[in-house]
A and B are shown apart, each in its own frame.
Chain A
Amino acid sequence: MTDEANGEKKSPRIGVFICHCGSNIGGFVDVKAVTEYAATLPDVAYATDNLYTCAEDGLNNIKESIKEHNLDRVIVSSCTPRTHAPLFQRTCEAAGLNKYMFTFVNIREHCSWVHMKDRERATQKAKDLVRMGVARARFLEPQEETKIDVTQAALVVGGGVSGMTAALSLANMGFPVHLVEKDNELGGFVRNLHGLMNTKKSAGETIEPLIDKVNAQKNITQHLNSRVATVEGFIGNYDVTIGGDDAEPKEVKVGTIIVATGAVPLVPEGLFGYKEHPNVVTATEFEELCKKKDIPKLKNVAFIQCVGSRGQKVSYCSRICCNVAIKTAINIAENRDNMLGVTEEKPAEAGGQAVEEPAADMKAEEGTERRRRRRGRGRREGEDAVEEGAAPSSGVEITVFNRDVMAYGVEHELEFNKAREKRVKFIRYVPDNLPKVTMKDGNLEVGYFHETLKMERSMPVDMVILSTPLVSQPDASTLSQLLKVPLGQDGFFQEAHVKLRPVDFATDGVFVCGTCRGPADIAEAASQAAAAASRAAIPLANGFVQAEALTSRVDETKCTGCGTCVEVCPYGALRKNEEGISEVIAAACKGCGCCGATCPEGAITMTHYTDQQLLAEAKAALEEG
């Protein structure tokens, strides 16, 4: 912490290279004066200026000077380390100097460019900044980046579409995979469903091949009726205990972990007459009824979208429900005489003709309908106008009450158009005026405010289908704590970077895919799973990971084992050893330094950003130059 520890063996030999950056620095700062000043600073063995330090001759100048002047530390005083540090570090390495013996001083972005009107003060500031750099450089120490061996196996948590896809990808690459599923069979949420969007195949027919492949893949060890009980370790070296409901806990060693635990639909307690009136079901329950072939003959069906989402119970849009409603609406419309093909033995999905047949006589009507719409009516009004006419020829009236239809992408927009051609009505509501589901004379009824007509309306219905959002698994936080990976505010797992690292966690070695990180359809979940698998395969394929050189180090003689650092570390990179003293897991440490700033005993040193180095900078900044 203080300068006392400053008992170096031999005094450092610092080389300072000050860049003009053409006129970017040279035009606003007296670079020659700064260079002359740098030469007078303690331990500076050599100081020079370059027109462009990052150009070939500037870099050669650094390399030659390191040899010629026997430099053991290099400072480049130019632009920002955020772009140019790696270049100069490589130059130092090429001249045999450890790259951590390099320090950057930013006199362009932080000086010449922001003080363009005051050459004198800009020059003074540049001198101060160089003095700070020299003060820091005197305490630099070489650092080594160590390689850590990786266990070439993976753990995938969750046996739904995402988990199975990820596990298969990794297994096909040749890595052993432990697939943990809490239920007694694979398939996840999709197993509950009847029909899917954008395919005529049923949900079961869609995922069966995937399940078969997983069953056939010898590299995959399935752990059904199981959960992750404990996780110890770090990237490349995880010790995981898998607890079974009726089996002995199993211990496995893996190098990387993929989280694919999925999501569950919101149960809309207290909303839109759910559980209060008969035949008010969620979209998922409707699928289950279809599967059980338990749908009554319907004349009037209402969908209500955004039930509980977008500000009601959860804040977000669940993305998939509009498309699910469109899919289901089309399904109902196409199977009007043979409700979803489930009341009789006439499967809807398999029978291409069964579906196409009624379409023929509808063609003519659709044509008129389209012409009518084109005749100057707005799109929404056009839809609403149908409502007044005779019931659509399909004999089943389908109304989708929505806030706005999110039929994003190519296929979904086409499906949306198809639903409209099939006379599915899309009626808009605003959040301030929600539709009301009531019972009138023993009949189900939906009351709503017609936004175009500005009138209260109502319609009798046989069934109300509530589109509820996917919400996070209720036990997501348990896994989140075990793996030390974060959940976002909606309880979904949170990726490292919303755009650039969508399937990574900030913690190395742990990845995420599928609906456990937010609502997604099957295709999206499968893409994410393939992405997560390929990310998780990198350390496995390499067989090693390069640990950060910038990590914290614990001085065992100072540590009292209070455990504060273990608590503050966001990466679980600190743990207590058998003696109760903190130790750093170098492979897991990211070098943020939170532990160093928190340790009440000053027992933690952050390499390359030591207290000594930072305070030397502060001291130099406040000295008179």
Chain B
Amino acid sequence: MEKEADPGEEQSTYDPKIIAFCCNWCSYAGADLAGTTRLQYPTNVRIIRVMCSGRVDPAFVLKAFALGADGVIVAGCHPSDCHYINGNEKTAMRGTFLTEFLEEAGLEPQRFKVEWIAGSEGRKFADVVKRMVDELQVLGPISEEGEQ
């Protein structure tokens, strides 16, 4: 956070990879809006669209880390605004569990985030990505003994 990351100017050769699972109705739309309003953010994120954030099995998050992700975001609709009534409540519960689990496994908490991003929050989407890239730049790659 202290470090100002400029996407144009790489400070290190470390190029973190972020997987963002975005729900179709809110956060994917938020990412769309970031585009429509031409908000510039780092290229490190790869969005995987799911219908609901509640679709994201905790195993997907673990698998993503195992496959080499440096950070994972699960993004859904704001509480009480879920397209599927309460799918995001399940996301919230799993998020709490996953955060603890990953910490025990030796992963820094900055590497996994549950975010509520509305379709109107293009700015928030861009900021969430920027912040995570900044934080990951500080952390560096996942240490070998940390994972698995």
Contact = CB atoms under 8 A, between A and B. Distances in A.
Interface in B27-42: 28-29, 31-36, 38-41
Q: Which of A108, A110, A486, A591 has the most CB of B within 10 A?
A: A110
A186 B63 CA distance: 60
Interface string A123-147: 0110011001000000000000000
A570 B84 contact: yes
Contact of A109 (B31, B54, B59, B68): B31
A109 B51 contact: no
B105 interface: no
Interface stretch (A53-61, A233-241, A537-545, A613-621): A613-621
B55 to A, nearest CB: 3
B40 A116 contact: yes
A614 B50 contact: yes
B74 to A, nearest CB: 10
Given A597-B54, A621-B19, 8 more contacts: A1-B59, A82-B28, A106-B47, A113-B38, A117-B40, A592-B84, A597-B94, A622-B64
A570 B46 contact: no
Contacts of A518: none
Interface in A588-625: 590-594, 596-598, 606, 609, 611, 614-615, 617-619, 621-622
Interface of A: 1, 80-82, 106, 108-111, 113-118, 121-122, 124-125, 128-129, 132, 486, 506, 550, 568, 570-571, 590-594, 596-598, 606, 609, 611, 614-615, 617-619, 621-622
Contacts of A82: 24, 28-29, 32
Nearest to A606: B55
B51 A609 contact: yes
Given A115-B43, A132-B46, A594 B29 contact: no
Interface of A is mostly: helix
Interface stretch (B85-93, B107-115, B132-140): B85-93
Interface in B111-134: 126
Contact of B19 (A486, A591, A618): A618
B52 A125 contact: no
B7 A128 contact: no
A80 B94 CA distance: 28
A550 B39 CA distance: 32
Interface of B: 7-8, 17, 19, 24, 28-29, 31-36, 38-41, 43, 46-52, 54-60, 63-64, 67-69, 83-87, 90, 94, 126
A118 B35 contact: no
Nearest first, the 8 A-B pairs at minimum CB distance are A109-B35, A593-B55, A592-B84, A594-B54, A570-B85, A621-B46, A592-B52, A113-B35
B46 A592 contact: no
Nearest to B69: A622
Contacts of B32: 80, 82, 106, 109-110
B87 A570 contact: yes
Q: Which of B29, B43, B51, B59 has the most CB of A within 10 A?
A: B43
Contacts of B90: 568, 594, 597-598
A618 B67 contact: yes
Q: Which of A113, A117, A619 has the most CB of B within 10 A?
A: A113
Contacts of A568: 54, 90
B36 A113 contact: yes
B40 A614 contact: no
Nearest to A486: B85
B48 A132 contact: yes
A593 B51 contact: yes
Nearest to B7: A118
Contacts of B40: 114-117
A597 B61 CA distance: 11
Nearest to B52: A592
A622 B55 contact: no
B7 A117 contact: yes
B48 A617 contact: yes
Contact of A592 (B34, B35, B55, B57): B55
Contact of B48 (A113, A125, A590, A614): A614
Nearest to A593: B55
Contacts of A110: 31-32, 35, 47
B51 A114 contact: no
28 contacts: A1-B59, A80-B35, A82-B29, A109-B34, A110-B32, A114-B41, A115-B43, A117-B7, A118-B8, A121-B43, A125-B46, A132-B46, A132-B48, A506-B84, A550-B51, A568-B54, A571-B85, A591-B51, A593-B50, A594-B84, A594-B90, A596-B55, A597-B94, A606-B55, A609-B51, A615-B60, A618-B69, A621-B19
A247 B47 CA distance: 58
Contacts of B54: 568, 592-594, 597
B84 to A, nearest CB: 4
B84 A621 contact: no
Contacts of B51: 550, 591-593, 609
Contacts of A108: 35
Nearest to A113: B35
A82 B24 CA distance: 8
B7 A621 contact: no
Contacts of A590: 84
A121 B52 CA distance: 29
Nearest to B32: A109
Contacts of A550: 51
Q: Which of B40, B63, B85 has the most CB of A within 10 A?
A: B85
Contacts of B64: 618, 622
Nearest to A617: B48
A171 B68 CA distance: 62
Q: Which of A122, A129, A597 has the most CB of B within 10 A?
A: A597
